[in-house]
Amino acid sequence: MIISKQLVLTYLYLLIYVCLSSGVILFNKWVLSPKYFKFPFPITLTMIHMAFSGVVTFFLVRVFKVVAPVKMTFQIYATCVIPISAFFASSLWFGNTAYLYISVAFIQMLKALMPVATFIMAVLCGTDKLRWDLFLNMLLVSVGVVVSSYGEIHFNVIGTLYQVTGIFAEALRLVLTQVLLQKKGLTLNPITSLYYIAPCSFIFLFVPWYLLEKPEMDVSQIQFNYWIFFSNAVAAFALNISIFLVIGRTGAVTIRVAGVLKDWILIALSTIIFPESIITSLNIIGYAVALSGVVMYNYLKMKDVRANQLPADSTPDRTTKDKKISNIYKPDNFMDANDETAVGSLASEGAAVDEEAPLIPSSRLSYVTRTQTGSFNSR
């Protein structure tokens, strides 16, 4: 009876994660779309999310002490948190801007490039090695995305460039997380990561907001419904918490599988909610090819993880160690930006990264990999 209750609770958490993840993306599209809520200011929306997350996590960490803060020195903050926050803010900025130009379905298809971007950045930064088996998988993913793009009826170059730029910014953030934070021995959970990174990201976004969006907001009659923006920010923060809960009960692999399922559901829902979003057979074929490459890539990286693990045993010590490992905030993806070899894993994880949950998925999703490979290691 206890086991069945635990299973029910686990599946409930997974359902909540899938619903929130899909809901946040659709909600953002609805708010930003010039055809619906008509609030075409993605930087402003992102800043609202960062401000809300920063305030809530401050109360959770400092007032209610739900989680304990890490020992953060000024040097670590300046050399690690600030650059990571800059790329995190950039990935959200560009990713949200893409909603103004391309459909949710096509955005999800382009996100299949996340493993490719992370792998490229990892190789360039020297945190992963170029291997032909991984390279061929990345080539398969790229071909799938190209086919999917070719089949996009409402293809928009500007929107595609924004989304791809956001993907590479997220990939670089994952690699930086691995190189900077993990080498310092810092382990952050989704709440503490938002506690440190959200305020800094807000500051980074202020400059482009002041130069690009504030002048237009001053002269345009915008709808600023406080309840809409509050509920949107709550949904984005709740998504981070749901990822934290899911990973705590399952693991990175499970949430990645759930992420793939969520992507297919989201693509289908987006065509219903936003009728102008049309999916062609080439879209589906290309995305299926890209996902097959992502799945194979994840499989190869998990094989690497198992190969680097200590001989598994069923002793209590081993169980405890594994549990601790799974609780580490792994930035792989920074979603997956976790270990020294985790970037590869990160990349795979990256495929299932959520736009407003990059801190959590990354960390959490990143991987059990890093810890297992000796160094730890989510957008």
Residue pair 137/297 in contact (Cβ under 8 Å)? The answer is yes
Phi, psi angle pair for 353, to nearest 5°: -75, 140
Q: Vertex 235, ends 233 and 238: CA angle to 5°?
A: 110
Instruction: Give the pLDDT mean for 65-70.
Output: 87
Q: Which residues pair with 333 in a beta bridge?
A: 336
Cα separation of 348 and 295, whole Å? 8
Plot region of 334 (φ>0 → left; ψ -120 to 50 → alpha; else → beta): left
Determine the length of the chain: 379
Query: What distance in Å separates the CA atoms of residue 228 and residue 96, rounded to the nearest whole number?
Result: 17
Give pLDDT, residue 353: 46
The pLDDT confidence band at residue 105, using thresholds 50, 70 and 90, is: very high
Cβ atoms of 189 and 67 within 8 Å: the answer is yes
Higher pLDDT, 134 or 345: 134
Average pLDDT, the chain: 80
Give the Cα separation of 17 and 12 in Å (integer): 9
Confidence of residue 2 (pLDDT cuts 50, 70, 90): low
How far is it, in rounded angstroms, from Cα 59 to Cα 89? 22
* Residue-level pLDDT at 364: 35
Task: Report the C-alpha gap between 77 and 197 in whole angstroms.
Answer: 9
Give yes or no for residue 331 having a pLDDT over 70: no
Section 104-133 average pLDDT: 90
Give pLDDT, residue 325.
37
What's the burial of 126, exposed, middle or buried (CB within 10 Å: 0-12/13-18/19+)? exposed
Rounded CA-CA distance 336/178 in Å is: 9
Strongest mean pLDDT among 15-24, 128-137, 256-265, 291-300: 15-24
Dihedral (Cα; 181, 183, 184, 188), 10-degree rounding: 40
- pLDDT value of residue 234: 96
Question: What is the rounded average pLDDT of the residues 161-177?
Answer: 94
Distance of CA 268 to the CA centre of its chain: 20
What percentage of residues in the chain have a pLDDT greater than 70?
79
Q: Distance (Å, rounded) from C-alpha 332 to C-alpha 36? A: 35
pTM of this prediction?
A: 0.80
Q: For position 223, what pLDDT does the model report?
A: 66
* CA–CA gap between residue 196 and residue 58 (Å, rounded): 9
- Across 29-56, average pLDDT: 94
Q: What is the rounded CA–CA span in Å between residue 363 and residue 357?
A: 10
- Interval 13-39: pLDDT, tens: 889 999 999 999 999 999 999 888 889
List CB contacts of 221: < 8 A, sequence separation 6 or more. none
Rg (CA), the chain: 20
Beta-bridge mates of residue 336: 332, 333
**Is pLDDT at 199 greater than 70 in this prediction?**
yes
Determine the residue type at 142.
Answer: S
Residue-level pLDDT at 361: 38
pLDDT grade for 350, boundaries at 50, 70 and 90: very low
- Contact between 365 and 329 under an 8 Å Cβ cutoff? The reply is no
pLDDT of residue 301: 79
Chain centroid to CA 19? 16
Q: Name the token pair of 32.
A: 């930003």
Does residue 182 register a pLDDT over 80? no
Structure tokens at 114: 């996340």
Structure confidence by residue, pLDDT tens digits, 218-258: 777 776 789 999 999 999 999 888 887 887 777 666 777 78
N-term to C-term CA, the chain: 39
Express as a percent the part of the chain with pLDDT over 90. Answer: 45
Q: What is the pLDDT of residue 313?
A: 45
pLDDT mean over 136-143: 92
Q: Return the pLDDT at 365.
A: 33
Q: What is the pLDDT of residue 287?
A: 93
Higher pLDDT, 359 or 46: 46
Domains of the chain, residue spans: 44-102+156-221
pLDDT (average), residues 130-150: 91
